[in-house]
Amino acid sequence: MSRVVVVEELDSVQQHTVGDVPLSIGGPGSHIVLPGVPAGETAAFICADDAALYVQPAGSGVPLTVSGIPVTTSTWLHHDDLLEVGNARITMRIDGSTTRLLVSIRSSDEPTDPPQPAPAGEDLQAADPIAIVPIEYSPGPTRTGTVRSRILPRWWSWVTPIVLVVLCAGLWYLLTARSVVIQLNPQSDRMTISGGLTPRIGDRYLLRPGDYLVHAELSNHRNLSHTITVSSEPHQVIALDFEPLPGLVTISSGNLAGASIEIDGRVVGATPMEDVELAVGVHDVVVRADRHQVQSETLVITDPGQRLSLDVELIPAWAPVSITSDPSGATVMVNGIQLGTTPLVAEIGAGSHRLEVRLAGYQTAERRLRVEADVPQDFPVIQLARAVGRLTVSSVPSAATVTIDGRFAGQTPADLTLQPDIEHDIKIAKAAHEPQSTRISLSAGASEELDVTLVPLYGEVEIQSTPTGGRIMIDGESHGVTPQRIRLPAVSHSIEIRKDGFETFATTVVPEVGLLETVNAALTPVHEEPAGPPATITTSQGAVLRLIDPGTVEMGASRREPGRRANESIRRVVITTSFFMAVHEVTNAQFREFSTAHNSGHGGGTSLGGPNQPVVNVSWQDAVRYCNWLSEREGLPPVYVERNGTFVSRTPLPSGYRLPTEAEWALAARVAGESSQRKYVWGNELPIPEGAGNYGDAAARRILGGALPDYDDGFPATAPVGSFDANPLGLHDLGGNVAEWVHDPYTIYSPSTGGTEQDPTGPVQGEYHVIRGASWMDHQLTRIRLSYRDYGDEPASNLGFRIARSVQ
């Protein structure tokens, strides 16, 4: 900044710039002329350094002081400083970029003029004579002293002591004061000190020990007001730092108010928010709002006092979905929550949902609804079918197969639905029994019961052994000794022939009506007991399968259980034979040996394709193809065969690799080799214990838009298999990580009426297949229950599988 120097004398004004300095002070010819100083002689110079002024003595001997302090070296000049050079007094006035030097000359005491002589020719005797009257004279006391002492002014008698006191006080101050340098960072020329005398010499202050208040100002910094303590040290340096003014940021989120603002990990308020103070530097800003995707921004404050505005566009984590039905007025349910009636536009969160549309007098329509965030969707019109008739079919014996118009409809006892006002062909059949058929037509909403007694079919079996006398066991019951001819129902029977000292002979036979079946057993002497199945087996890919013993499990849940769904009817099931079940879900590395091009993809920006992560985005058909491939690779009979473009399983189940049946999965997960069943994979109580499994936790909130309360498993998406504790059978991730395809086609079962099902495998075929177990995306307690049943026909990023094998 350029500075103007103005010299104001009594009768003149001079204006100079910094480029004109130094300005001389001295005799005639100087910029500032002093009386009594010879021409050409200079007493001092006023100089400049970076627009600041200082005085420099010229060594002429003319006395020089600044604010009363004698000066012999260069000394900085400040506002209100009084510079005295000889008889001149120069006062400094600084006003912005202008410095004024106000010059005045001190007046000195002059002697009294002598008497003037009378004008020439004036007759002094012309005046009237004055009579001089003599008086008596007495001499006074003798006085000592010079003539000058008799003419001193009267005030000298009281000024002199004051001057002496002031001089002593000044000397005392100089002796007791300390040299103090106050360093400001950054430097500022706007500083004042209060709290006592504060004389300054150059860049140092002479301060007595004690406390002083320092006040300083600097643009773009907070005013500095700081108490300093001067100690008894002779030389002291006190450093004070200015605090830069913070940047001021206004943060908004478009038309959406109330979004939470988090800066550098700390919540500071909600949008819109003005003049948020941020220090100079880089800051992370996170804006969150319910039902919207989390947005992250980076703010850089480069200068103190900088003003910025940040408007964050929040992207909805939902989308408007238009749902209509024919006829309209139907109730819309999404994931069991009622949203309204058709026609309806609802804001639904991103992801996969179960959509139900219900209307009195019509069948409930179920659909799978997939929503992409911020992408509006017109869901296809849902055509509602009229309410059906209901037919309850029972048989003696039970567990007979029921077909309607040639299509499998379940096993007795069965609750069936029939299209109204149409004649249907109902057939009830059971192995070793004569099938029965009937034709039934029901009106809309009507109900009817059908009770059937099936006539058994028999065949004959002749059983012989060498040596004879072997004890015959048929289906676990004793039937005498060999040889013997026995009449049996025309179904598959297990036959054993036992004799002490000989190995047990075992076979299976299916009697046929009108034909004689023969069993000839050559008994082998006992040498050693045959070994049972191993506790574990290992596939050619290194996957471990663990032996699961037979057992009984109650599938489904009570109607009183919170979160229970309509397809969770209670059924008592017994698994009669041991089976092997994989310890872990099939991994990406294992599946890519079968399908090298497979890609599990990403989940919310997190990779799902790590080699030890469970494979996902596979269909049920993909899973059974992998099982067949692994069976053929190890020389085992494939379980699944392709018919009419889909796969069905062989019966009875061969020894090759397959998916576990729904009942096997429930036995391994809920009973887990213990005496009581589990509601959750960890037990029966809430809250979820730490490390229970990989669910929709706090780590996945950014992806899912919601999370289980107070639970963090550390994985935003899938975790490597085996990352969490195994259940009592040594199986990992039956709860969490990924949901799992199982063997059975999907159907809704009727509640058990006291009976027990043996080794169920579900319907022969169906459009959908059963899905069991929760996944990393599930943050609702309903889906974490082990009784929860889902179904589908498409791949998903949270859906994989594990393998099983029958023990032969």
Partner residues linked to 49 by β-bridges: 52
State phi, psi for 224 to the nearest 5 degrees.
Answer: -95, 125
Mean pLDDT of the chain: 86
Q: Is residue 119 part of a domain?
A: no
User: Is 799 or 147 the better-scoring residue by pLDDT?
Assistant: 799
Question: What would the pLDDT profile of 627-650 be if each residue is shown by its tens digit?
Answer: 999 999 998 999 999 888 889 998
Q: Is the pLDDT score of 741 beyond 50?
A: yes
Range name among 272-286, 296-310, 517-531, 554-568 with the lowest pLDDT average: 517-531
Spatial distance between the Cα atoms of 382 and 166, rounded to a whole number of angstroms: 107
pLDDT of residue 443: 83
Q: Is the pLDDT score of 602 beyond 80?
A: yes
Question: What would the pLDDT profile of 172-211 be if each residue is shown by its tens digit?
Answer: 888 889 999 999 999 988 899 998 888 988 889 999 999 9
Among 105, 127, 153, which residue terminates a domain?
Answer: 105
Partner residues linked to 486 by β-bridges: 461
| Single-letter amino acid code for the residue at 105 | I
Q: Indicate whether 466 and 450 sit together in one domain.
A: no
Instruction: Pull the structure tokens for residue 491.
Output: 């179904």
Spatial distance between the Cα atoms of 521 and 545, rounded to a whole number of angstroms: 34
Spatial distance between the Cα atoms of 535 and 549, rounded to a whole number of angstroms: 10
What is the pLDDT averaged over residues 794-804? Answer: 96
Q: Indicate whether 466 and 589 sit together in one domain.
A: no
Q: Indicate whether 362 and 488 sit together in one domain.
A: no
Q: Is the pLDDT score of 113 beyond 70?
A: no
Number of other CB atoms surrounding residue 588 within 10 Å: 22
Cβ neighbours of residue 748 closer than 8 Å, sequence gap 6 or more: 566, 567, 569
Range of the domain at 476: 457-522
Spatial distance between the Cα atoms of 789 and 773, rounded to a whole number of angstroms: 8
Confidence of residue 135 (pLDDT cuts 50, 70, 90): very low
Q: Is residue 384 a contact partner of residue 363, using CB atoms and an 8 Å limit? A: yes
Q: Indicate whether 546 and 586 sit together in one domain.
A: yes
Q: Is residue 154 part of a domain?
A: no
Q: Is residue 468 part of a domain?
A: yes
Based on the number of CB atoms within 10 Å of its own CB, is 435 exposed (0-12), middle (13-18) or buried (19 or more)?
middle
Q: Indicate whether 329 and 298 sit together in one domain.
A: no
- What percent of the chain clears pLDDT 90, i.e. is strictly above it? 46
Instruction: Pull the structure tokens for residue 462.
Output: 């002749």
Spatial distance between the Cα atoms of 113 and 116, rounded to a whole number of angstroms: 8
Range name among 110-114, 181-185, 243-247 with the lowest pLDDT average: 110-114
SS3 for 155? coil
What is the pLDDT averaged over residues 522-530? Answer: 73
Count of alpha carbons within 13 Å of 249, Cβ hemisphere only?
A: 28
Q: Is the pLDDT score of 154 beyond 80?
A: no
Q: Indicate whether 683 and 788 sit together in one domain.
A: yes
Helix (H) or strand (E) holding 278: strand 273-278
Question: What would the pLDDT profile of 320-353 be if each residue is shown by its tens digit?
Answer: 999 999 999 999 999 999 999 999 999 898 889 9
Confidence of residue 673 (pLDDT cuts 50, 70, 90): confident
Q: Indicate whether 618 and 749 sit together in one domain.
A: yes
Range name among 20-24, 48-52, 379-383, 734-738 with the lowest pLDDT average: 48-52
Q: Is residue 58 part of a domain?
A: yes
Question: What would the pLDDT profile of 489-521 be if each residue is shown by its tens digit?
Answer: 887 788 999 988 898 999 888 888 888 888 888
Q: Is the pLDDT score of 777 beyond 50?
A: yes
Spatial distance between the Cα atoms of 370 and 356, rounded to a whole number of angstroms: 13
N-to-C CA span, the chain: 99
Q: Indicate whether 725 and 655 sit together in one domain.
A: yes
pLDDT of residue 271: 93
What is the pLDDT averaged over residues 103-131? Answer: 46
Q: Is residue 531 part of a domain?
A: no
Name the nearest CA neighbour of 438 among 412, 402, 408: 402
pLDDT of residue 153: 57
Q: Is residue 139 part of a domain?
A: no
Q: Indicate whether 502 and 450 sit together in one domain.
A: no
Beta strand pairing call for 739-745 and 657-658: unpaired
Q: Indicate whether 177 and 326 sit together in one domain.
A: no
pLDDT of residue 127: 36
Look up the CATH number of the domain holding residue 506.
2.60.40.1120
Q: Is residue 155 part of a domain?
A: no
| DSSP, res 294 | -
pLDDT of residue 459: 87
Cβ neighbours of residue 163 closer than 8 Å, sequence gap 6 or more: none
Domain count, the chain: 7
Confidence of residue 606 (pLDDT cuts 50, 70, 90): confident
Q: Is the pLDDT score of 239 beyond 90?
A: yes
Q: Is the pLDDT score of 121 beyond 70?
A: no
Q: Indicate whether 406 and 544 sit together in one domain.
A: no
Spatial distance between the Cα atoms of 523 and 685, rounded to a whole number of angstroms: 55
Among 241, 273, 294, which residue terminates a domain?
Answer: 241
pLDDT of residue 252: 94
Cβ neighbours of residue 412 closer than 8 Å, sequence gap 6 or more: 393, 394, 395, 398, 399, 400, 402, 428, 452
SS3 for 97? coil
Instruction: Pull the structure tokens for residue 320.
Output: 């408007």
Among 275, 295, 311, which residue terminates a domain?
Answer: 311
Global pTM reads: 0.41
Look up the CATH number of the domain holding residue 285.
2.60.40.10
Confidence of residue 553 (pLDDT cuts 50, 70, 90): very high
Based on the number of CB atoms within 10 Å of its own CB, is 101 exposed (0-12), middle (13-18) or buried (19 or more)?
buried
Range name among 8-12, 29-33, 416-420, 738-742 with the lowest pLDDT average: 8-12
Q: Is residue 566 part of a domain?
A: yes
Q: Indicate whether 401 and 494 sit together in one domain.
A: no
Ordered DSSP codes for 537-586: EE-TTS-EEEEE--EEEEES--TTSTT--TT---EEEEE-S-EEEESSPP
